[in-house]
């Protein structure tokens, strides 16, 4: 069973490596891992990822690769060489892309004696709603689309998926594998300052839940950014979230 604090992944959605270092230094004993997304990865580069990994920090590299199979597989091998704990690829890249990525990463990790990172599939972004899908020519309901992509991820050997908390229960039922990880962004606390559900979220996330609701639904890990990173007292914000989780 995953310890409560290990379930929290703090999103380092900041502009500079310096700011990210400050957050990591403050919260490293309070949470399980940190997420480096496209903004920070573009600004600080692979060298920053190596730096924090070398310092013993678990990193979820949120780069959402989506390209031809060969390109994604080769890029994913380089991610594995960075020593990250977890990274993600878009399921809509297709079965061939996912299988090739899984096979190449496994082969290189075994050959070079590297720790094999978790490979996670991105289903439907939590910033998307039904209209977003329709604009892209997808008429299927969001829940059905997420389930379809989650099943495909499992078939192709991925370790889990990223999905909104609203689809977690259905994914758990359909996949039927307790080891299949569900990573959940779109987390907003009832008492987390301006980023809460009582006053309405003031950001681009559309399909959201509280930490307790998401864990109750079956999420393994919660990716939380603004409610923690933009809090005046980040440690207190984390501990409030942990209290919510542990009250279940």
Active centre residues (catalytic) = 64
The Cα–Cα gap between 184 and 168 comes to 8
34, 6 Cβ separation under 8 angstroms: no
116 phi/psi in degrees, rounded to 5: -80, 120
3-state SS assignment for residue 52: helix
In the block, tokens 């990172």 appear at 117
Long-range contacts of 140-145 (CB under 8 A, 24+ apart): 142/166, 142/167, 142/207, 143/167, 143/170
Nearest to 159 by CA among 205, 234, 68, 221: 221
């Amino acid at each position: 069973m995953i310890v409560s604090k290990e379930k929290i992944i703090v999103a380092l959605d900041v502009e500079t490596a310096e700011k990210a270092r400050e957050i990591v230094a403050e919260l490293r004993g309070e949470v399980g891992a940190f997420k480096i997304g496209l903004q920070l990865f573009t600004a600080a580069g692979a060298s920053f990822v190596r730096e924090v990994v070398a310092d013993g920090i678990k990193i979820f590299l949120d780069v959402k690769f989506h390209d031809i199979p060969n390109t994604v597989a080769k890029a994913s091998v380089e991610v594995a060489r960075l020593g990250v704990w977890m990274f993600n690829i878009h399921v809509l890249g297709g079965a061939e892309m996912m299988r090739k990525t899984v096979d190449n990463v496994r082969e290189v990790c075994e050959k070079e004696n590297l720790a094999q990172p978790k490979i996670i599939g991105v289903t439907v972004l939590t910033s998307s709603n039904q209209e977003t899908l329709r604009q892209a020519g997808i008429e299927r309901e969001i829940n059905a689309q997420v389930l379809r992509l989650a099943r495909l991820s499992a078939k192709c050997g991925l370790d889990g998926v990223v999905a909104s908390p609203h689809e977690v229960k259905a994914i758990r039922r359909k996949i039927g594998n307790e080891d299949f990880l569900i990573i959940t962004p779109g987390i907003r606390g009832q008492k987390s300052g301006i980023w809460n559900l009582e006053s309405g979220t003031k950001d681009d996330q559309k399909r959201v839940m509280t930490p307790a609701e998401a864990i109750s639904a079956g999420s393994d890990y919660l990716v939380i950014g603004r409610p923690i990173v933009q809090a005046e007292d980040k440690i207190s914000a984390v501990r409030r979230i942990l209290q919510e989780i542990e009250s279940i």
